[in-house]
């Protein structure tokens, strides 16, 4: 794999980690759902899509590895939030990370199948 392709998933991971470890300033909602949950899920989606793009693979094994990696990153970030002022680890945030990663894998697989045509 070309090293340059790794820049996108590494950049996405750095942005997800950086944004997750900033001190919290409040939790606005969107349609009754806390926006931080939406951001966690979006981070999971983007991590898996960026990883699938970098690997140029959307088979089950690759997507399972990407989902697992995104969920592990989300769990690690949640634990690290315990030492950030105004932040706290949240199981709900972790579940949003993992669900977002699964959605990202489904989207990557769909885009692959759809691009092949009938």
Q: Give every CB contact of residue 41 below 8 A, 6+ residues apart in sequence.
A: 96, 97, 99, 100, 103
- The model's pTM is 0.87
pLDDT mean over 52-60: 92
Structure confidence by residue, pLDDT tens digits, 66-118:
999 999 999 999 999 999 888 889 999 999 999 999 999 999 999 888 777 66
Tell whether the model's pLDDT for residue 42 goes beyond 60.
Answer: yes
**C-alpha closest to that of 96 among 112, 73, 80:** 73
Pairwise CA distance, residues 16 & 49, whole Å: 14
Residue count (the chain): 118
- Residue 103 CA to residue 55 CA, distance in Å, equals 18
Domain spans in the chain, listed from the N-terminal domain onward: 36-118
């Amino acid at each position: 794999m070309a090293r340059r392709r790794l820049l996108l998933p590494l950049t996405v991971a750095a942005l997800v980690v950086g944004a997750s470890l900033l001190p919290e300033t409040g939790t606005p909602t969107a349609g009754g759902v806390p926006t931080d949950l939406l951001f966690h899920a979006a981070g999971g989606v983007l991590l898996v899509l960026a990883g699938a793009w970098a690997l140029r693979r959307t088979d089950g094994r690759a997507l399972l590895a990407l989902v697992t990696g995104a969920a592990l990153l989300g769990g690690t970030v949640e634990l690290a939030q315990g030492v950030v002022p105004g932040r706290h680890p949240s199981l709900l945030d972790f579940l949003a990370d993992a669900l977002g990663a699964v959605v990202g894998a489904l989207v990557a697989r769909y885009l692959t199948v759809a691009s092949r045509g009938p």
